[in-house]
Structure 1
Amino acid sequence: MQLTIKFQSARSYLASWQSRIIARYELLKTKSEARLKSVYLGAKSMPEAQTIAKTISNLFQVRVEIRPAQRCATAFEVVVRNIKVAVMAAIEKFVLALITAAEMPTAPAPKPIAPIKPVAPMNVVPLVHRPDLPGRSFRRTSDGKLLNLA
């Protein structure tokens, strides 16, 4: 994974990956750390941009906007703003997951969950009354219902 860091202003930097995913960071004045201010996610088409925007707005409480690309080298971009400190790390993990998924296009798709058919028919043993065993005893009637013998 190759990230490009570009100086924007006195305390602002852009971190980009293949001109498709761009994150804008701002250095804090008092602490020696940076805060994520906005994220720009490039999309090739409007439906793809709408899908990305819907996913992000369902996962995080942030402001999401779709517009023609200004920073990304794609047709459209999804702009994520008003990122709170509480969700900043989660959004960074989400963006990292997008980058790693784009780098591994041959990853196998998840298999759907489906019931497995039994190999052989199951043998059902009818319940039999055994007076030598403690506890309740049952017997099947002619129509298949259980009858309590205790």
Structure 2
Amino acid sequence: MNIFNYNFVALDGGPMPMERFRNQPILFVNTASECGFTPHYAKLQQIYQDFQQSGLVVVGMPCNDFGEQEPGSEEEIAEFVHSQYRVSFPMTAKYSVIGINAHPMFKDLAQEYGGDVLPRWNFHKYLFNRKGGLIEHWPAQTPPDDPAVLHQITRNLQSWSL
């Protein structure tokens, strides 16, 4: 399973192949606008700003699978994340992460790593290395700026030069 093999539609409707981020590490997060963890957007934006020069890309993927906490359209989601959190990192269109309609990336993650790798709620975080392999993942309860997350990011920065 390699993240660079997957394609998404961007929040603005254009194509968003993960291949365009080849040789860059990716912090990939399923998101929701009406979740108790929604303030994590601010922390994700800060991480993106802090580590962007080192090549890190944060990718948000809106998801309505948990508690129907992302009911809006892509246009409404874009307006919300830009106006409320000034998000500048790439965002995909809305996708499912579990069940029959799950995006193929999540089906492949489960097949390769087992069901425990799948999100159980919004704001599950996945860190992929610059070769597209999964380094680590953290549940929603782990904030993006948790020392364990930041440690994994900074620990690998030397190998992530552009």
When normalised by structure 2's length, the TM-score is 0.25
When normalised by structure 1's length, the TM-score is 0.26
Greater relative CO, 1 or 2 (CA 8 Å, sep 6+): 2
The higher radius of gyration belongs to 1
Query: Which is helix-richer, 1 or 2?
Result: 2
